[in-house]
Amino acid sequence: MVHTPQTVMLLINDPQFREGLKLLLEDMHFSVFSSGSYLELEKILHTYTVAPALLIFPLILNNGKPSLGFVRELRDRFNSCIPTILLRTDITVHQLQMTDPNLTVLPEQIKPKALRQKINEIFNNRQAT
């Protein structure tokens, strides 16, 4: 996969859900790197020199750790406040989003139309600033 500034990093354990999101994002003209494994994603990220345009991760990675630490690590690595969507099963959304205004927390099984709308909002807000 060729990395472009419009690349989305997608880390979703469920293969069917991951493939559905990947197709949705590609339909929105994003280049998508999708993985079901934190370790696989970590390996490929070492080849990237440009920050991805968007991260979509579960709230808890499949290594059992919260993804927020990994998000911060990637932001530091690329020296960029990469917009991030965290998919959750249960957490106080307001509490988490207050810690970082560039985080968007959505339900884990979000409908494609709602995800498309949220992604468009993120990029429209970035272009406006």
Q: Return the percentage of the chain with pLDDT > 70, whole number.
A: 81
Q: Which domain holds residue 109?
A: 7-122
Is position 128 within any domain? no
Query: What's the pLDDT score for residue 38?
Result: 83
Is position 2 within any domain? no
Residues 57-104 pLDDT 10s: 988 887 778 888 889 999 999 998 899 998 875 545 544 555 677 777
Q: How many domains does the chain have?
A: 1
Is position 127 within any domain? no
Q: What Å distances lie between residue 31 and 34, 68, 98, 116, CA to CA?
A: 10, 23, 29, 15
Question: Strands 84-88, 103-107: parallel, antiparallel or unpaired by DSSP?
Answer: parallel
pLDDT band at 9 (very low <50, low <70, confident <90, very high): very high
Whether 1 has a pLDDT exceeding 50, the answer reads no
Residue 110 per-residue DSSP state:
-
Query: What's the pLDDT score for residue 5?
Result: 59
